[in-house]
Structure 1
Amino acid sequence: MIQFFAYPESVFCAKVRIALDMKNLDYAEVPPPDGYGSAAYKKIIPAGSIPGLQDGGAALSDSNAILEYLEEIAPSPALLPEKPAERAKVRALMGLHDTRIEPSVRAFYASIKAGKSPKDEVYKELIADMSAAFERLEDVIDAEPYAVGPYVTLAECAYATTFSQAQQLAALFGGELQLKPKCQRWWQAMQSLSHAATSIDMNRKAMQDWVSKFIQVDA
């Protein structure tokens, strides 16, 4: 059985979980022993990072590398398109997620851990910056209804929980994530995917608990 090392509040872990569920793979999800980066965990996943995946003799890190591995060992249902140009577009969207979109969401974490009041002006700036980051998606997705046409791909695995977490954080701090029409349409389509909905719900509950460790906010 595949061992999947993850934390429920991580969107990088969520995208692997969504792919595992969509491919109906048998796996056990567990937290990294002694926490990520620990000596005990590095004996299993040498990078010491999450998500981590152990499958027989394979010990994998990096969420996108894991997604590609899952696509190769379980090609059905396919989560990469057949056409090379469309496959490249999916990979480009995954790169954009990791380098631009997710970091705009993670930017909240430092202020939360510092215990800054929910009314602090810093959150208004963070919400504006996050909305601007999401605007970058409008011209690079098809939203028909998914990112690259009518079929679900690894892009949906990557973005579904990130969209949810971004909206959750904006709402917790009195704002709103501004989404343009195609992003709104794509977000609606992602919510209709049962496997994505499972991880979205798990992540929302975990994030609420995590934020509450540092500051008091309305649910």
Structure 2
Amino acid sequence: MIQFFAYPESVFCAKVRIALDMKELDYAEVPPPDGYGSTAYKKIVPAGSIPGLKDESAALSDSNAILEYLEETAPSPALLPEHPVERAQVRALMGLHDTRIEPSVRAFYAPIKAGKSPGDEVYKQLIEDMSAAFERLEDMIEAAPYAVGHHVTLAECAFATTFSQAQQLASLFGGELKLKPKCQRWWQAMQSLSHAATSIDINRKAMQDWVAKFIQVDA
């Protein structure tokens, strides 16, 4: 059985979980022993980071590397298109997720951990910055109904929980994530995917609990 090392509040872990579920693979999800970066965990996954995956002789880190491994070792259902251009488009979206979109969401974590109150001006700016980051997606996706055409791909695995967490954080701090029409259609399509919906729910509950460790906000 695959060992999947994850924390429920991580969107990087969520995208791996969604792919595992979509491919109907047998896995056990567990937290890294003694926490990520620990000596015990590094004995299993040398990078010591999450998500991590142990599958027979493979000990993998980096969410995109894990997704590519799953696509190659469990090719059905395919989560990469057949056409090279479309495959490149999916990978470009995954890169944008990791370098631009997710960091705009993660920017909330520092002030939350610092205990800044929900009314602090820092959150207003972060909501505006996050909305601007999501706006970059509008010209890159088809939303017909999925990012690259009519089939679910790794792009949906990457973005579904990030869309949810972005909206959750904006709402918790009195704002709104502004999505343009194609992004709105794409978000609706992602929510209709049962496996994505499962991880969205896991992540929302975990984030609610995580934020509550540092500050009091309305649910």
TM above 0.5: yes
Aligned equivalent of 1:19 = 19
Secondary structure of 2:53's aligned partner: strand
Name the CA distance, whole Å, in 2 between partners of 1:86 and 1:205.
34
**Alignment deviations for residues 186-216 of structure 1 (CA, whole Å, 9 cap, x no partner):** 0000000000000000000000000000000
Matched, 1:54 2:54: yes
Aligned equivalent of 2:174 = 174
Name the CA distance, whole Å, in 1 between partners of 2:218 and 2:57.
45
Secondary structure of 1:132's aligned partner: helix
Aligned equivalent of 1:196 = 196
Secondary structure of 2:60's aligned partner: strand
Q: Match for 2:114: what amino acid?
A: A
Aligned equivalent of 2:33 = 33
Secondary structure of 1:116's aligned partner: coil
- In the TM superposition, residue 75 of structure 1 has moved relative to its aligned partner by 0.4
Aligned equivalent of 2:158 = 158
**Number of matched pairs:** 219
**What is the CA RMSD across the aligned residues, in angstroms?**
0.2
Aligned equivalent of 1:100 = 100
- In the TM superposition, residue 86 of structure 1 has moved relative to its aligned partner by 0.1
- In the TM superposition, residue 20 of structure 1 has moved relative to its aligned partner by 0.1
- In the TM superposition, residue 64 of structure 1 has moved relative to its aligned partner by 0.1
- In the TM superposition, residue 185 of structure 1 has moved relative to its aligned partner by 0.2
Aligned equivalent of 1:184 = 184
Matched, 1:131 2:96: no
- In the TM superposition, residue 147 of structure 1 has moved relative to its aligned partner by 0.1
Aligned pairs for 1:82-97 within 5 A: 82-97=82-97
Aligned equivalent of 1:65 = 65
Aligned equivalent of 1:80 = 80
Aligned equivalent of 1:149 = 149
Secondary structure of 2:28's aligned partner: strand
Aligned equivalent of 1:208 = 208
Secondary structure of 1:75's aligned partner: coil
Structure 2, unaligned runs of 5 or more: none
Stretches of 4+ moved more than 6 A in 1? none
Aligned equivalent of 1:9 = 9
Name the CA distance, whole Å, in 1 between partners of 2:202 and 2:35.
19
**Alignment deviations for residues 29-77 of structure 1 (CA, whole Å, 9 cap, x no partner):** 0000000000000000000000000000000000000000000011000
